[in-house]
Amino acid sequence: MKNLIGKELIDFEVQAYHEGDFKTVTKEDVLGKWGVFFFYPADFTFVCPTELADVADNYEEFKKIGCEIYSVSEDTHFVHKAWADTTDTIKGLPYPMLGDPAGVLAKFFGVLVKEEGQALRGTFVVDPDGVIKVYEIHDMGIGRNAEELLRKVQAAQFVREHGDQVCPAKWKPGEDTLTPSLDLVGKL
């Protein structure tokens, strides 16, 4: 697998289900703010709704830091609507659910499992310029943690704003950072 850090988003146009309506989402819609592309294998499954609900429970914290969430699966926007219409957990999701039935986004991000027509659990943090800054990919059976994702977005934002400082393990906003220098070599 090739490294995606520093790679810019491709131009794309997909259909999404969001707040009871269908809408088109493009690269231009993503630019200008932080974004998280949150891939999951499929609608009407088991781990997926727990993850989407966890992100929804933390959505206001993402919004406070200027970050939009884009959940993505290989399902169509029509299937996303049907899932929201029939499942209380999905009904009130506050963020767009992108349909990627042609696998355009899943291929770009390297998470498409072609033989299954599904995406791995991939999480990609994109800066306001559309550049990938953080990503992780899980097997289909391993769920993710939205609080840790939020922390990673906050760390990426801090590093972008304070280029001379870096965030150590488990760093959270307000905690000490490090300024790389010769003085720190061998001291940590």
Q: Please state which CATH number belongs to domain 13-184.
A: 3.40.30.10
Query: What distance in Å separates the CA atoms of residue 4 and residue 120, rounded to the nearest whole number?
Result: 15
Three-state SS for 25? strand
The DSSP letter of residue 77 is: H
At 25, list the tokens: 């989402």
- On the question of pLDDT at 1 being above 80, the answer is no
Asked whether 119 and 112 are in contact (CB, 8 A), the reply is: yes
Under the banding of pLDDT at 50, 70 and 90, the label for residue 182 is confident
Tell which phi-psi region holds residue 12, choosing left (phi > 0), alpha (psi between -120 and 50) or beta: beta
pLDDT at 52: 98
pLDDT digits (tens, 9 = 90+) for 103-142: 999 999 999 999 999 999 999 999 999 999 999 999 999 9
Choosing from 48, 69, 111, 146, the catalytic residue is 48
48 is catalytic: yes
- On the question of pLDDT at 69 being above 90, the answer is yes
Best CA proximity match to 52, nearest among 31, 36, 64: 36
Best CA proximity match to 97, nearest among 81, 121, 113: 81
